[in-house]
Structure 1
Amino acid sequence: MLKLLRWASAFFLRRNMSEETSQEQPLDNSKFKSVQGVVTSLCMDYGWINETILFNMDVISDNTPLQIGTNVLALVGENQRTHIPKAIKVKAMNDLPEGSEPSKLGRKLCISCVTSVTEEDVYISKEKCFPLYMFSGAFKPFKGDLLLVEYSTNPGTSKINIHSVSPLNTQYMEEVYVTSIDGRNGMVESSIFFTLDSLHMPSGYTPRLNNIVDVVTVESIQPQCSWRAVSMTPVETEN
Structure 2
Amino acid sequence: MATHPQIPRPAVPSADTLAQKYETQVISQFNILQRRQRREARAQIPQLVETERQQLIAQAEADRQELQQAWDSFWTGLVANDTATVMAALGAAFEDNEAAAAAVGVHGDELSLTVEVPGIDVVPTRMPGTTAAGNPSLKKATKTELNDLYLLMVSGYVLVTVKEALATAPAIGSVHIVAFRQTRPDAYGHVSAEAVLAASFTRGSLTGIQWQTANAIQILNDASTELVCIQQGAARELKPIDPGANPEIAELLAAVDVETNS
Please identify the structure whose Cα radius of gyration is greater. Answer: 2
More strand by share: 1
TM-score under structure 2 normalisation? 0.21
Structure with more helix by fraction? 2
Report which structure shows greater RCO (CA 8 Å, sep ≥6): 2
* Length-normalised TM-score, structure 1: 0.22
